[in-house]
Amino acid sequence: MTTQNARPTASAIQPPGPGDLRLIVRDQPMSLAAHVAHYGPVPLHAARPSALIAEVERAGLTGRGGAAFPTGRKLRAVATANSGRSTAVVVANGSESEPASSKDAVLLTRSPHLVLDGVALAAEAIGAARAYLCVAARGSLVQSLADALAERDRARLAHVPIEVIGGPDGYLPGQETALVSVLNGGRPMPSFVPPRPSDKGVRRQPTLVLNVETLAQVALIARYGAAWFRSVGSDASPGSALVTVSGGVGRPGVREIPLGTPLGEVLRRSGLSSPAQAVLTGGYFGAWLPLPAAFGVPVSAPGLRAAGASLGAGVLAVLPDTACGLAETARVTGYLASQSAGQCGPCRNGMPALAEAMNWIAFGQPDTDVIRWARQVTELITGRGACHLPDGAAGLVTTALAVFSAELRAHARAGPCERTRRPAVLPIPQLSS
């Protein structure tokens, strides 16, 4: 572990330069041997556990799962709650319930040991007794992660017991308190806070829940230090991040970018060539931004927030001119309404009402009353409930009605446009019952 003015000593490996990839450096899964050869050994026991927390705080790392909460503050809160004990729990959240995101699955497939290093380091820093790595129970990812853990066992790198959990499908299981509920044997139900998981989480013990990319960044900071981490990005939003670019681009996929990179540059690197109407930023909890007007917006949490959008889980979904933004929003709103836990009024009543209004706006001929009702519902459901599902849906609809205002007027005048019959751009999962 480093101190504030010293270079890392855990590894003599040359750290990645400002233009180098940090998180996903190969197109194929990286074995433990290849991982250690590239990054060096995980720097456990190199200093007091509190030194890592201080280094993460100096780095300015924020969560990469959606909320962009300061990671060092989370680590310190759980370490404080666990003071004098060794009962804390680490939960690595790779559920990736955001349908338009694939960054976590790619990271876990290509660089599993970087995430597992982060889990071990975080566990040491807070005094955790065990850890869980939670992913969606789809495909072969659960087995490949189990294989990676077996590699570490054989190399005697199992510093904390880590259990891979294949969680349920759906949008809510990725939410922090809903994930804790699943690990406690319950349904994926968000809970009211306080108490927060940092005080009472899994088995009512202090629990650290971090996105898997956040944990991979912790592993890099532990090796190379805060100054290295801040050598890319901006002062307000340091470091790099993984983003999932999809929709109307020639080269969709997961990219690692310095935070603060202009949106237009990210999209051009992804093969944006034909005209595009807008981009959905942050995912289905996010917002629409018009193109090309938003090309200069920095891709970072504060940069997108200033533009009325969000970074969220790093989703950038481009809407081509051939698609209808109102139809895309209606489909997503309907999906979000279907994912409600049904425990609060805004979800039980408000979400279905908003989905119905958006469906009429997109696929019918909305009159003034329907449009007014949609706007009223967004105001009624915002800021209420146990989780932020209604807030996310309301924000998405609000930006859609503004960005696609010309289409809204056309639908009100003549009914749904021909583009509503085109295939959807944004994915809507078909979930098992």
For residue range 361-394, list pLDDT tens digits in order.
999 999 999 999 999 999 998 887 667 788 899 9
Q: Given a cut of 50, is residue 167 above it in pLDDT? A: yes
The CB density around residue 127, as the number of other CB atoms within 10 Å, is: 17
More confident residue, 192 or 72: 72
Of 43-52, 289-298, 415-424, least confident by mean pLDDT is: 43-52
More confident residue, 69 or 188: 69
Rounded CA gap, 231 and 227, in Å?
6
Task: State residue 120's pLDDT score.
Answer: 96
Average pLDDT of 32-51?
A: 88
For residue range 80-114, list pLDDT tens digits in order.
999 888 899 999 999 999 999 999 999 999 999 99
CATH number for 32-229: choose from 3.30.390.10, 3.40.50.11540, 3.30.70.1060, 3.10.129.10.
3.40.50.11540
Average pLDDT of 333-362?
A: 89
Q: Given a cut of 50, is residue 405 above it in pLDDT? A: yes
Task: State residue 348's pLDDT score.
Answer: 84
Confidence of residue 12 (pLDDT cuts 50, 70, 90): low
Spell out the residues 6+ positions from residue 126 whose beta carbon is closer than 8 angstroms to its own. 49, 75, 78, 79, 82, 88, 90, 206, 208
Q: Given a cut of 80, is residue 425 above it in pLDDT? A: yes
Query: Per CATH, the architecture of 325-421 is what?
Result: Up-down Bundle (1.20)
Q: Given a cut of 60, is residue 428 above it in pLDDT? A: yes
Task: State residue 390's pLDDT score.
Answer: 86
Task: State residue 345's pLDDT score.
Answer: 76
Identify the CA nearest to 124 among candidates 47, 201, 58, 71.
Answer: 47
Q: What's the whole-model pTM score?
A: 0.93
What are the residue boundaries of the structural domains of the chain, listed by start? Answer: 32-229, 240-320, 325-421
Identify the CA nearest to 243 among candidates 64, 372, 121.
Answer: 64
Rounded CA gap, 66 and 283, in Å?
9
Average pLDDT of 325-343?
A: 91
Confidence of residue 3 (pLDDT cuts 50, 70, 90): very low
**Percent over 70 (pLDDT), the chain:** 95
Query: What string of H, E and C letters represents the secondary structure of the chain?
Result: CCCCCCCCCCCCCCCCCCCCCCCCCCCCCCCHHHHHHHHCCCCCCCCCHHHHHHHHHHHCCECCCCCCCEHHHHHHHHHHHCCCCCCEEEEEEECCCCCCCCHHHHHHHHCHHHHHHHHHHHHHHHCEEEEEEEEECCCCHHHHHHHHHHHHHHCCCCCCCEEEEEECCCCHHHCHHHHHHHHCCCCCCCCCCCCCCCCCCHHHCCEEEEEHHHHHHHHHHHHHCHHHHCCCECCCCECEEEEEEEECCCCCEEEEEECCCEHHHHHHHCCCCCCEEEEEECCCCCEEEECCCCCCCECCHHHHHHCCCCCCCCEEEEEECCCCHHHHHHHHHHHHHHCCCCCCHHHHHHHHHHHHHHHHHHHCCCCHHHHHHHHHHHHHHCCCCCCCHHHHHHHHHHHHHHHCHHHHHHHHHHCCCHHHHCCCCCCCCCCCC
Task: State residue 384's pLDDT score.
Answer: 75
- The tokens of 108 are what? 């876990």
Task: State residue 11's pLDDT score.
Answer: 46
Spell out the residues 6+ positions from residue 345 whose beta carbon is closer than 8 angstroms to its own. 384, 385
Confidence of residue 227 (pLDDT cuts 50, 70, 90): very high
For residue range 107-146, list pLDDT tens digits in order.
999 999 999 999 999 999 999 999 999 998 767 899 999 9
Task: State residue 76's pLDDT score.
Answer: 96
Average pLDDT of 309-316?
A: 96
Fold designation for 240-320: Ubiquitin-like (UB roll) (3.10.20)
